[in-house]
Structure 1
Amino acid sequence: MWRPLLLILYCLAASARAEAPAIDFATGEWPPYVSRSFTADGVFADMVRQACRRAGYNARFHYMSWPRAEAEVKAGRAAAAFPYRPTPERQRDFDFSPPLIHSSSYFFYYKPRLANPPGGFRSLTDLRAYRIGVQLGYWYQPLFKQSRLNTLNTNDEENAIRLLRAGHLDLAPLTLERGLFLIRTQAAGHEREFAYIPTPLDKATPLGLMYSRSYPDIAKLRRAIDRTLQAMQADGSLQAIYQRNFPELKPRR
């Protein structure tokens, strides 16, 4: 008697899920925050998916390059891109969600290749003597240009780790989670040969959704998702997802 009833309830629940409206999100490979190779696509995608589900939507992720993700959101072909930090330049064209994660960036270095690393810095101009790897489109580029730092464009952050080990770079700016993850995966067995300047490049900075202003029904979607994210922050859901993805993350200075 119970089996037919349970089957009916399951089918009704599955039907309700299938009929939930889909929202298109643009994102890219940036482990450990988001990656197709991770369970639930990584910590950030897991947060976005659960927020959408609680708000009554299905999250649909489209992986692409970061410049294209920004273009897709600006053109209204994606509701939002993630993870992004609000900057004055971006806020001219986009709106931002409440933060899902706060993270700081640090200058990582390879100790065998940098005998006298800076113990800290008061201004970015203090780092002009160092070769610093950067990625196109990243938030820090205007700051580095303004401070006239000696920068070298690298293909990606994985390559920056390799260039540090080869001695072609002195410093590489990376978020803490990203830097420690890359060192573990790109230089396994040599983790203690890396360190980072204890002065953060930025304060604990919010990473969130960068919303389109022209995606269909974006005002309604944004209100629903933002309310859900605020509720998940209040009830500890976002922190629980973070801790599940980073159970052993410990800063190594």
Structure 2
Amino acid sequence: MRHLIAAWLAMWCMTAWAAPLELVIATNEYPPYISTDPRQSFISELFDRIGKDMGVKFTFRFMPWKRCLVLLDARDVWAAVPFVVTPERLERYLLSDTLYARRAKFFYYDQPGRSWPGGYKDLAELRQFKIGGVAGYWYEDLFKAGGIALDLANNDQTNFRKLQVARFDLAIADENVGNYIIRTEFTQQSGGFHSLDTPYYRSENVMLVNRSPANAELLAKFNRVLDNLRRSGAYDDIVSRRKLVLLPVGS
């Protein structure tokens, strides 16, 4: 009996002190949503809370967006985040519940003698303006289908620099990302930036996970914890403290 008790205690100690399961997630710099700087990383804080309740550790690996999906497909990472929902992704991956819902807006910078509309009813009304965007972003095909050519940059920061020196009239960007760039990179000129009243696009961002029974079980637990954080108010506390403008999920 003593041997059995000793064996049980040894097993208990090994279990109690075992390191939590580590789940590696592919992502890219996209403050204020995700960043190596925790002060500008909403998702990092949210996932830390979720991981504690799940008993797992989430580790983020930063890389270009396209490589995130390459490593996900190769199963070199557990998940990729954040991504918008598309029919192809619904078919190919397991998708988490919505992490956050956001909107894109058209930003402009004051120019002498120029005026911009407060809003618009149809995208075609903006054809008179030169519009800047980022190559490879979700809206590129939508503009192309609408017959509107975009002046494309490699990233949002470059896009806003071009906007500020009047390379074009409007820049399309996620509302929180645009506000973050204006606040951090244009501190002296921030008062000259504005946005049209009419949002361009609403999207709900999720986490992508490869299909497998084990992943489905983990993801179901992830979603339950995320829902609990929303119901308890902890999710809104994080959003409020980080001064993000997010939309109600499912609205």
TM-score by length of 2: 0.84
- For the pair shown, the structure with the greater C-alpha radius of gyration is 2
Query: 1:61 and 2:70 equivalent?
Result: no
Query: 1:232 and 2:229 equivalent?
Result: yes
Aligned to 1:38: 38
**Alpha-carbon distance between aligned partners in 2 of 1:156 and 1:20, rounded to the nearest angstrom:** 36
Cα offset, 1:97, TM superposition:
1.4
Aligned to 1:213: 211
Aligned to 1:72: 71
| 8 Å Cα contact 2:100/2:204 also seen in 1 | yes
Other structure's SS at 1:104 match: strand
Aligned to 1:50: 49
| 8 Å Cα contact 2:230/2:236 also seen in 1 | yes
Aligned length: 234
**Alpha-carbon distance between aligned partners in 1 of 2:113 and 2:52, rounded to the nearest angstrom:** 48
Aligned to 1:22: 22
Unaligned runs of 5+ in 2: 1-11, 247-251
Aligned to 2:85: 86
**Alpha-carbon distance between aligned partners in 2 of 1:152 and 1:34, rounded to the nearest angstrom:** 26
Unaligned runs of 5+ in 1: 1-11
Cα offset, 1:81, TM superposition:
1.5
Other structure's SS at 2:227 match: helix
Question: Where in structure 2 are the equivalents of 1:125-164 lying within 5 Å?
Answer: 125-164=124-163
Cα offset, 1:194, TM superposition:
0.6
Cα offset, 1:235, TM superposition:
1.0
| 8 Å Cα contact 1:114/1:170 also seen in 2 | no
**Alpha-carbon distance between aligned partners in 2 of 1:55 and 1:114, rounded to the nearest angstrom:** 57
| 8 Å Cα contact 2:108/2:194 also seen in 1 | yes
Query: 1:202 and 2:195 equivalent?
Result: no
Cα offset, 1:17, TM superposition:
7.2
| 8 Å Cα contact 1:67/1:137 also seen in 2 | no
**Alpha-carbon distance between aligned partners in 2 of 1:242 and 1:154, rounded to the nearest angstrom:** 29
| 8 Å Cα contact 1:27/1:83 also seen in 2 | yes
| CA RMSD, 1 decimal | 2.4
Measured at CA, do residues 79 and 200 of structure 1 come closer, stay the same or move farther in structure 2, by a change above 3 Å? same
Cα offset, 1:114, TM superposition:
7.8
**Alpha-carbon distance between aligned partners in 2 of 1:114 and 1:208, rounded to the nearest angstrom:** 42
Other structure's SS at 2:48 match: helix
| 8 Å Cα contact 1:81/1:209 also seen in 2 | yes
Aligned to 2:5: none
Cα offset, 1:192, TM superposition:
1.5
TM-score by length of 1: 0.84
Aligned to 1:182: 181
Cα offset, 1:113, TM superposition:
6.5
Moved over 6 A (4+): none
State, as a whole percentage, how many aligned pairs show the same letter: 28
| 8 Å Cα contact 2:131/2:149 also seen in 1 | yes
Other structure's SS at 2:59 match: strand
**Alpha-carbon distance between aligned partners in 1 of 2:65 and 2:232, rounded to the nearest angstrom:** 31
Measured at CA, do residues 189 and 246 of structure 1 come closer, stay the same or move farther in structure 2, by a change above 3 Å? same
Aligned to 1:119: 118
Which residue type is aligned with residue 34 of structure 2? V
**Alpha-carbon distance between aligned partners in 2 of 1:199 and 1:184, rounded to the nearest angstrom:** 21
**Alpha-carbon distance between aligned partners in 1 of 2:24 and 2:204, rounded to the nearest angstrom:** 22
Which residue type is aligned with residue 38 of structure 1? P
| 8 Å Cα contact 1:133/1:173 also seen in 2 | yes
Measured at CA, do residues 16 and 157 of structure 1 come closer, stay the same or move farther in structure 2, by a change above 3 Å? farther
Other structure's SS at 1:103 match: strand
- Which region of structure 1 is more displaced relative to structure 2, 79-88 or 140-149? 79-88
